[in-house]
Structures are given as structure tokens and as C-alpha cells.
Structure 1
Amino acid sequence: MIDLTEIQKNILYASVISDGEITKIYKNSRRKNNSYREHYGTSQEDYRKWKIAFFDGLLYITPASQCVRSASLELFTNLFPHFYSNDGTKHLPFTLLENCLLPHFLTILYMDDGSLSISYRVNHNKKIIYLTPHIYLYLQCYPKDELEKLKEHIFTTYHLSLKLSSRKDGYGYILKTTSVKETFRFLELIEPVAKTCPSMLYKTSWEFRNQKEILRWKSKYPDYTILTSSSDRSKPYSPDEIKLLRQLKKNGFTTNEIAKMLKRSYWSVTYKWQEIKKQN
């Protein structure tokens, strides 16, 4: 029997919840055990290569069929009933969520089935464009009551507040962040894991995505100012905070370390430092 590490458990369980599946054993099949399978598009291949690198050969890619696969193993036979009911319906594995405590779980859940969506508001009088980022987890293949329990698990484990949002497909509901502040907290939480996967920066790095949005809007409105809606970002920095920020940067502290010292978000410090550099 294969013993998974805690990181492998978090990544695998999130993968099965999202894009992956544990294959069924059909009547008269010669297989004794279930296996893992995950289809992907061509643009997602680098991400899948990054993901399977955590598994030391347990998972592998078949490029021709664009699949992540495993051999038929007792591991997946034992996991199957946690994810599937007797009639084969997929459900959330609440008996396993107690093992899903690492940022890797949330990272994979988001990379597989999430999106960083940006709404906007254009004030032509002030020549300002406000960008408002939201995170969505497209888990509409699960019933509302199961998403409620997952939402509670995420709040209890990661102290992140999500809410249900209605849709017309699946069971009718997905999860989304409740505010801009929570969106940035979500990205900060997954950042240590997500930053090692460059192909997914478009959805995991606000700095990367924000620059793309600025270029897009500047091509249309070159004289407009582009701002991100955020109560934290709009809270003015005191002269003492600015002085301390300058000194900490000079002394080589990272943005994450400075954010903790100033009791501000990572992105608030990032924006303020960009502003200070421009003034210089």
C-alpha cells in the first residue's frame, strides 16, 4: 500500500474533487483496482507537468490522449468510496477533508476549477477606471449542501470567507470570495505554492494580471488612471509607515515580511511601494 505524504494527499484530494476522477471498474473487467485519470487541454500541459512532479512517478502524462494517469492501484480502490456513491455519483469527500489543511489543497482546487474574474467601473468625469477582482470556484457539479460544508471547512481551516453564488448549470451554485479583501487574502494564502507554477500566473498573481489589465485599458483610455477597488488599499499610509516601509525595503525585507509588520495586505504594500518608486 502506498503511503502518501501530507502534501500529496492535499493535492490529490483537491484534484479528484476538481478536474480529476477515480476510474470505475466495470463488470467483467480484468482490473482488480481503480486508477486515477485527469483530462486536460493543450494549454494546461505545463500545469499538469508541475502537478505530477509532486508524486514521484505515481502519476504520469500520456501526451497523445492529453491525460494525467496512474496505474491501477489499491490506493485508488480504497479512495473510491470516499468520492463516489454506490450509483457512481461524485460527491465531496468529507471523511478526508480533515487531512486537507495545507495551502496546497486550496491552490489545486483553485488552479483546477477556479478563475480570477475582474469587473470594472469607468468614471469618465474623473477619468478613473476601477478594477474589482473576484475569485470563483466552479464546483457546480456538487449539491448546495455539500458546498456549504466545503465553505465551512475553508473558513475554519484557512480563515477565508466564501459565499454561494447561483448559476444555471449543474446543481446551480458555485463558491466566490465575499470581498476584494478576501480575494487578496486568498491569493496571498496560495502564493507560496502557486508561485512555483509560472504557467498559471494569469490566475494566481494579481501583480501579473493587473499589469495585463492596465495595458488593455490604457490602449483604450491612455489618459485614464486605473485603480483597484480595495478598502485596504485606499486606507492612507501615515508618514511614519512610509518612512518604515522605505527603511525595511532598504534593509532587504520581503514584501510579505513588511506586510506583516505594517499589518497590511501583501498587495497594499506592493501598490504603495510602486507609488513611492514612481514619486522618486
Structure 2
Amino acid sequence: MELLNLTAIEQNVLIASIMGDGEITKIYPGSRRKNNSYREHFSIQQLDYRIWKYNLLPSYFYFNSRNTLLLSPSLPLFTELFPRFYNVDGNKVISDEMLKLCNLPIFLTTLFLDDGSLSITVDKNKLKKRIYLTPHIYLYLQCFSREDLSKLQTHIFSTFSIEMRLSKRKDGFGYVLKTTKVSETLKFLQLVYNEASDCPSMFYKTNWDFRFEKEISRYRESHPEYAVIASSSERNKNYSEEECNQIRLMKSQGFTDKTIAEKLGRSYWSIVYKWREIRET
């Protein structure tokens, strides 16, 4: 199979791209083309990301003159791949054969940057004057059947140890994948940021610190009297006075949030937000 001539990284990026924003073009009757090709539409605002992707597959991709399409020549590779990604009705499918090759973090990163979103649920507590922000990851892959998404859901968990759930939609085949726990969202973001830290135009999706600061700035203007706090899986697990004193002591001694979290058996983000709360009181 032609695909196996690519490096493991190239295989993962290409498979994720075909599952995501890309498509393998059809060969219509009467066409002079002998082979299929790859095509990916995008807006000029996403050019930097497409350049990042191009640099992972420079031997196969090129841009059109207006920088609105990422393309490939007609190649036996894509002719071979076409029946592995499309059924007889022309709908995209997820094959076990292709999924077995997708075992690198760059696969999940590419899929997320193509068709994913970092969504934030806002909960305002008027009594305490606090705004809680809860991040969720969505993979908008409603072009796939529920069965295929269930297969992908299982693969993501078994390969990357990230738990996602099926969520209903009104378009496509009616379902997308999403994280429902803050801990899983942060785990997801850590994975993709490690892979795409050299693509700053996508930090609004991959870098939670960057995105959280943007949200703080926005609410500081619209709700200056409120404290903006990121929810964590331990939001409702109260800290004892002893734990708070331990945090104060370790902070005064110069220990990092990570070290304090390990000492107290708490998550890193829980310590970050608790320290912010302690300083404000």
C-alpha cells in the first residue's frame, strides 16, 4: 500500500486531514485523470495553520495561487485511499485499517485543529460575584455515522487515554464527540499543545493559559466586579484550613504550583485557582 511509504507522522497527519477538513477528489467519467487527488478548502485567517500542516507533508501538498486551497497532484496514493475513506454513497467512513495507523498525538492534534473547538461554558454566581469558566473539547465530525464515531471514541480512549462522549447534533448524522470532564479537557489540551506549540495562530484552541487570559480580559471589561475562575474537577471539593496554610507556606518558600499539587494530592489547576482565590481574600 502506497500509504505505508510515508513516515508514521505523515500517515497520521494525512489520515486526520482526510477525516477532517480535507477530501479526496472524485474522478468523473470522461476525465483525463488516472488518479485521485487531495483538496482542502480554508479561509485566509487559517493560512498559518495550513502552512504548519504543509510543512509536515511538503512532498505531497501545495497551495493554489490565492492561498485558499491546500492541494496535491493526482497520485496513486489517493486512488488507493479513496475507497478506504468513502462508501458507495459518497459518505466519509472510518475504517479499522486506517485507524490502526493513527497512534501518534499528531493525529488527534490535526483532527482537532481541522474540525475541533475549545468551547467554554459560563456559569455566573451573582451572590459570590464570580464567573466560572468550564472548558470543553468538541470534535465536529457529524459527517460520520454514530457507529463510526463510537469507533473513534474507543480508539481515542485506548490510544491516548482521553475520555470523550457522543453528543447529539441536528445536522449531519446527528452526533459529535465532546469531553464532559474538565480533567479530560485539560489532558486533551496538553496533548495537542505539545504537538502544536509552534503554531501560535491556533493558541486560542490549544493553549488554555492563553485562552483563559483572553477570557479574563473580556469579562474584566463587561463584569469588572466579578472574579473570573476556571472550573476544575475539584471545584466543589473544599480545601481545609490546614491545606490553605500549607499552600501559603510553600508559596512563601518558593515551591511551584506543580510541586504543591503533588504534595497535597490535588490537580495542578486546582492549586493555581485556589492560590488566586487565597490572594484575593
TM-score, length of structure 1 as denominator length: 0.87
> In structure 1, what is the equivalent of residue 138 of structure 2?
136
C-alpha contact (below 8 Å) 1:188/1:266 kept by paired residues: no
**1:24 positional shift:** 1.1
Structure 1 segments, 4+ long, off by >3 Å, are: 232-238, 244-249, 257-276
**1:228 positional shift:** 1.1
Cα deviation code 1:16-37 (max 9, x no counterpart): 0010011111112111111111
> In structure 1, what is the equivalent of residue 31 of structure 2?
29
Q: Does 1:243 align with 2:243?
A: no
Quote the RMSD (CA, aligned, Å). 2.6
Correspondence list, 1:67-78, <5 A: 67-78=69-80
C-alpha contact (below 8 Å) 2:247/2:260 kept by paired residues: no
Correspondence list, 1:88-107, <5 A: 88-107=90-109
> In structure 2, what is the equivalent of residue 146 of structure 1?
148
Deviates more, 1:189-198 or 1:46-55: 189-198
C-alpha contact (below 8 Å) 2:144/2:173 kept by paired residues: yes
Picking from 31, 34, 50, the partner of 2:52 is: 50
Aligned partners of 1:11 and 1:272: how far apart in 2?
39
Q: Give the 3-state SS of the residue equivalent to 1:57 in structure 2.
A: coil
> In structure 2, what is the equivalent of residue 252 of structure 1?
none
Aligned partners of 1:157 and 1:202: how far apart in 2?
25
**1:234 positional shift:** 6.5
Q: How many residue pairs are counted as aligned between the two chains? A: 272
Q: Cα gap change, 1:273/1:16 in structure 2, threshold over 3 Å: closer, same or farther?
A: farther
Q: Cα gap change, 1:231/1:198 in structure 2, threshold over 3 Å: closer, same or farther?
A: same
Correspondence list, 1:127-276, <5 A: 127-232=129-234, 236=239, 239=246, 243=250, 249=256, 265=267, 267-268=269-270, 271=273
Q: Give the 3-state SS of the residue equivalent to 1:105 in structure 2.
A: helix
Aligned partners of 1:15 and 1:52: how far apart in 2?
11
Aligned partners of 1:117 and 1:185: how far apart in 2?
15
Aligned partners of 1:41 and 1:275: how far apart in 2?
41
C-alpha contact (below 8 Å) 1:35/1:71 kept by paired residues: yes
Q: Which amino acid aligns with 1:243?
A: M
Cα deviation code 1:151-208 (max 9, x no counterpart): 0111111111111111111111111002111111110121211211100001111111
Aligned partners of 1:233 and 1:141: how far apart in 2?
35
Q: Cα gap change, 1:222/1:241 in structure 2, threshold over 3 Å: closer, same or farther?
A: closer
Aligned partners of 1:241 and 1:160: how far apart in 2?
33
Q: Give the 3-state SS of the residue equivalent to 2:136 in structure 1.
A: strand
Q: Give the 3-state SS of the residue equivalent to 1:71 in structure 2.
A: coil
Q: Give the 3-state SS of the residue equivalent to 2:119 in structure 1.
A: strand
Aligned partners of 2:39 and 2:205: how far apart in 1?
24
> In structure 1, what is the equivalent of residue 126 of structure 2?
124
Aligned partners of 1:259 and 1:17: how far apart in 2?
41
Gaps of 5+ in 1: 250-254
Picking from 5, 8, 20, the partner of 1:6 is: 8
Gaps of 5+ in 2: none
C-alpha contact (below 8 Å) 2:247/2:275 kept by paired residues: no
Q: Cα gap change, 1:110/1:246 in structure 2, threshold over 3 Å: closer, same or farther?
A: farther
